[in-house]
């Protein structure tokens, strides 16, 4: 995910939030709310096939270089 985009994302139009998915890391996304607050998240499926989403943290809090991030999908 491009860091400059994540630090200054466009506000969603006509809906409460937009999700921007990373092209290189499956399931990793940036969730942008209407007030332009952005949060890194990760989506995966649990053992029952249900989609789960874990919030990893806000853009302004996360380190600039993130090692591999894993969500809890149990």
Each of the 74 residues of the chain gets a pLDDT tens digit; together they read 566 777 778 888 888 988 988 888 888 888 998 887 888 889 999 999 999 988 888 887 665 544 444 444 44
pLDDT for position 2: 61
pLDDT for position 52: 92
The residue ranges of every structural domain in the chain are: 3-58
pLDDT for position 60: 74
Question: What backbone phi and psi angles, to 5 degrees, belong to 8?
Answer: -140, 65
How far CA 53 is from CA of 13, 14, 42, 66, 70, in Å, comes to 23, 23, 6, 18, 11
pLDDT for position 26: 87
pTM comes to 0.71
């Amino acid at each position: 995910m491009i860091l400059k985009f994540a630090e200054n994302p466009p506000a969603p139009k006509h809906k409460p939030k937009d999700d921007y998915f990373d092209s290189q890391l499956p399931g990793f996304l940036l969730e942008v709310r209407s007030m332009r607050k952005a949060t890194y998240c990760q989506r995966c499926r649990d053992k029952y096939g249900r989609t789960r989403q874990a919030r990893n943290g806000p853009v302004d809090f996360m380190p600039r270089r993130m090692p591999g991030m894993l969500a809890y999908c149990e």
